[in-house]
Amino acid sequence: MDALIDPGEYAALASCTYLNQASLGLIPRTSVAASVRFLTEVAQHGNLRLSDQAEAGILDGLRTAAAGLLGAPVASVAVVGGASEGLGQLAGLLSSAGGEVVLVASDFPSVTYPWLAARDRLGMRIRWVTDTPDHDLTLALGDAISEQTTVVCVSAVQFATGSQVDAAALVARARDAGARVVVDVTQMAGAAPVTMTQWGVDALVCSGYKWLSAPAGVALLAVTEDLAAATPVIVGWKGSATPFDFTPQELSLAADARRFELSTMSYSAAMGLLTSINLLTGIGLTAISEHAGTSSHSGTPPPWPTRSRPHCRASTTSTPAPAPAVSGYPCTPTTAATTSSLSPRRLPRSARARQPAP
């Protein structure tokens, strides 16, 4: 099979097969160039190349691209400094003294820590769900929802196990109890389609430095219209409708999700993320997902870490041969078959997860 993106975009692929995009994503040369170009222009020329007016609208293109990626209205999208920032803001808004949140016990700490803090601060109850190979995680989450549940917060794909949650089904169950649903799509966006509006979730959060192939320091937050009208727990000057008007005695927040944006951030990382999103959506996330599925059934190793594979496999040729790819990360052919044990509900997992004992 042909690679979806030129292998020459990634220096590492000249010497190895990179199988750890779920943990620290390779960034294509075109996106690196966009980041470096912006950084150099501003570093060397300052406001001569970045006026206040230009800075005020600098994230507009990224919000539009992110809306297409996440299947969300543009007004729902904010650009934030990290997934933890977005998840913390949401927990601050949705936690309450009498509330209960449903969490996965092995989820990434960024998803759970804000609710542990809410428990300590407000006495919010936590109901833990265990992700096990013999039980569908979506069903387990649904079974844990009760009349007391106010929020369900979960990663769409679990970094430790690869288990995938059916977000739409989870939302339907949560709505029966009047609960909100917050979904972290860090381990999905860029490798498979994400559709916030169709799923019906209240909020999505996504890091930029994994499957989205961007530098660290930029992430995405998407919220429903009612949450976009709420006052964030933490506000910053860039959350203003007109940030460069500087109104220190008046809280003039933007009328949409931009109010969640805090301050001057890594605009160079944002330029890299915009370039990578355009590259991925130009190929099509359905095409990327299908390409990966074909790879996993072809005898060619899938371009993600599995329990038995290293993060990087040395190539036996000087130039990696084009082969199946997810988000354009080609694998050099090997003879090992590694996908027979992957169930349809379990997707690529991050190698940051603690490895099971042999």
Percentage of the chain modeled with pLDDT above 70: 82
The reported pLDDT for the residue numbered 133 is 92
The reported pLDDT for the residue numbered 47 is 94
Predicted model pTM: 0.85
Burial 77-108 (b: 16+ CB within 10 A, else e): bbbbbbbbbbbbbbbebbbeeebbbbbbebbb
Instruction: Please write the tens of the pLDDT for every residue from 174-203.
Output: 999 999 999 999 999 999 999 999 999 999
Decide if pLDDT at 285 tops 80: yes
Average pLDDT over residues 307-326: 31
The reported pLDDT for the residue numbered 242 is 95
The reported pLDDT for the residue numbered 143 is 97
At 295, is the pLDDT very low, low, confident or very high (cuts 50, 70, 90)? low
Average pLDDT over residues 109-133: 97
Pairwise pLDDT comparison (124 vs 320), residue with the higher score: 124
At 210, is the pLDDT very low, low, confident or very high (cuts 50, 70, 90)? very high
Decide if pLDDT at 127 tops 60: yes
Average pLDDT over residues 238-247: 95
Decide if pLDDT at 169 tops 60: yes
Tokens of 107: 């989820």
Instruction: Please write the tens of the pLDDT for every residue from 11-59.
Output: 999 998 898 999 999 999 999 999 999 999 999 999 999 999 999 999 9
Average pLDDT over residues 1-6: 83
- Three-state SS for the chain is CCCCCCHHHCHHHHCEEECCCCCCCCCCHHHHHHHHHHHHHHHHHHHHCCCHHHHHCCCHHHHHHHHHHHCCCHHHEEEECCHHHHHHHHHHHHCCCCCEEEEECCCCHHHHHHHHHHHHHHCCEEEEECCCCCCCHHHHHHHHCCCCCCEEEEECECCCCCEECCHHHHHHHHHHCCCEEEEECCCCECCECCCHHHHCCCEEEEECCCCCCCCCCCEEEEECHHHHCCCCCCCCHHHECCHHHCCCCCCCECCCHHHHCCCCCCHHHHHHHHHHHHHHHHHCHHHHHHHHHHHHCCCCCCCCCCCCCCCEEECCCCCCCCCCEECCEECCCCCCCCCCCCCCCECCCCCCCCCCCC
> Which of 152, 110, 127, 115 minimizes the C-alpha distance to 350?
110
Decide if pLDDT at 332 tops 80: no
The reported pLDDT for the residue numbered 3 is 85
Contacts with 8 (C-beta within 8 Å, 6 or more apart), sequence order: 29
Query: Structural domains in the chain?
Result: 43-278 (3.40.640.10)
Decide if pLDDT at 278 tops 70: yes
Average pLDDT over residues 257-274: 97
Decide if pLDDT at 238 tops 60: yes
